[in-house]
């Protein structure tokens, strides 16, 4: 039987509300079926909608299920931060002060609170290593760039299925007008370096046509695994920031920090809408 449930919509990865990436959060989802969750997520038509449930792991503060308009994900970054922000604002009390532990399809994800920010510890990749050369050629065709323009490539899959390629410059990334009709299931991150002396290290774009989202405005999971790749390869410092969403009129900024063998991915969050969902 449908009933009123606490609901929030949270903007993630921008200090300017409505300039980051929104996530819809159903805070009381305990008796919703898989079908109902999928239907709600399809209806909100955001890149992700999340459902907060009681934890099954004794070490977790809550359990989270994450849906795109087309399917469920084991993990995603901006929904993790946005859901934690909504849970805390709604009165959630972590078992350990200053730390939130989320249970999801990827296991336990630790979050920590900063000065008006939240950060999560990047989960391990389930697939890494260089891409197959045939796939790289298909990506180059989809991006309308020469194969030689792709300076590096890697599987950076921490659940959603990400692959990533590196171009020479942020401007080259911003100028892309891709066509993924030949590889419609691709989940691709494309990054390029900002000019030396810039406030930020890289610009990144995330293309995910296969899950019903042509381009994701700001993407935590992709930035998490790309950071693991870049730092391990010496292509980025231990601490840096990334911009994303510029091509879509957003102002996303993602903070990356490598500490004690963990990569932390963080940003600002703003709870923009509060209310109830009838579901």
| Cα–Cα distance list, 200 to 84, 193, 195, 196 (Å) | 26, 9, 9, 9
Of the candidates 147, 136, 234, which has an alpha carbon nearest to the alpha carbon of residue 188?
A: 136
Tokens representing 34? 């898989």
Tokens representing 269? 């969050």
CA atoms of 201 and 216, how far apart (whole Å): 20
Helix (H) or strand (E) holding 242: strand 239-244
Annotated active-site residue 48? The verdict is: yes
Catalytic choice (48, 103, 201, 203): 48
Nearest 5°: phi and psi at 177? -130, 75
3-state helix, strand, coil in the chain (%, to 5): 20, 40, 40
Catalytic amino acids? 48
């Amino acid at each position: 039987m449908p009933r009123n449930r606490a609901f929030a919509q949270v903007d993630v990865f921008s200090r300017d509300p409505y300039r980051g990436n929104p996530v819809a959060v159903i805070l009381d989802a305990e008796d919703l079926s898989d079908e109902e969750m999928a239907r709600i997520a399809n209806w909100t038509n955001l890149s992700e909608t999340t459902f907060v449930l009681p934890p099954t792991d004794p070490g977790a503060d809550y359990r989270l299920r994450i849906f795109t308009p087309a399917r469920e994900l084991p993990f995603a970054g901006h929904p993790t931060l946005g859901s934690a922000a909504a849970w805390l604002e709604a009165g959630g009390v972590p078992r350990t002060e200053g730390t939130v532990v989320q249970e999801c399809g990827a296991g336990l994800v630790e979050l920590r609170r900063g000065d008006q920010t939240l950060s999560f510890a990047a989960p391990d990749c389930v697939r890494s290593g260089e891409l197959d050369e045939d796939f790289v050629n298909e990506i180059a065709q989809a991006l309308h760039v020469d194969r030689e323009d792709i300076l590096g490539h890697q599987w950076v899959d921490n659940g959603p299925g990400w692959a990533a390629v590196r171009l020479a410059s942020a401007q080259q990334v911003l100028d892309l007008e891709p066509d993924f009709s030949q590889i419609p299931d691709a989940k691709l991150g494309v990054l390029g370096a900002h000019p030396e002396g810039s406030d930020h290290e890289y610009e990144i774009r995330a293309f995910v046509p296969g899950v019903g989202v042509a381009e994701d405005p700001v993407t935590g999971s992709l930035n998490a695994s790309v950071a693991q790749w870049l730092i391990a390869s010496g292509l980025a410092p231990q601490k840096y920031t990334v911009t994303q969403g510029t091509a879509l009129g957003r102002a996303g900024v993602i903070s990356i920090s490598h500490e004690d063998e963990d990569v932390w991915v963080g940003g600002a969050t703003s709870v923009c809408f509060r209310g109830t969902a009838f579901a």
